[in-house]
Amino acid sequence: MYKMSQEDIKAYTLAGKAVLTLESTKTGKRYTYKIKSKPGVWFVSLLTGSNNDCDYTYIAFFREDLQLRLSNKSAMPESAKPVQAFKFFLDRLGDLPDSLNVYHSGKCGRCGRTLTVPESIKIGLGATCASKS
């Protein structure tokens, strides 16, 4: 996993196919999320099993206002710690506290291809996808 800058975290999160891990340096807790988008809406799923490719459970969505919303298909209540952690992250996107580490999975946040160029690894987006941001 790769640590990113504040600006890169926001671009990666909103790119369309992001997989990111949030880690609290205060509690040691970490959660991994997959964020997929369709025009104007992002769907958030939580890694709930051991298979990093397919063991994700839908928890919420957000729109351009970055307000996390649950739906009748949400698998967890708003009070669940993973939901609260993502809400905390989203509420502070662009100005995250030092106590929160954010990592990407090594794949482009827009197209999902494996990143191999150091600059692309640093920001979480391949060169072609970064130019579309």
All structural domains of the chain with their residue ranges: 2-130
pLDDT at 4: 79
Q: In what order do the strands lie in the sheet with 100-104?
A: 2-3, 100-104, 17-24, 30-38, 41-47, 56-63
Neighbours of 92 (CB within 10 A): 13
Whole-model pTM above 0.85?
yes
- Res 110: pLDDT: 95
Positions of the chain with pLDDT lower than 50, given as ranges = none
Q: Which long-range contacts (CB under 8 A, 24 or more apart) does 75-79 make?
A: 75/46, 76/46
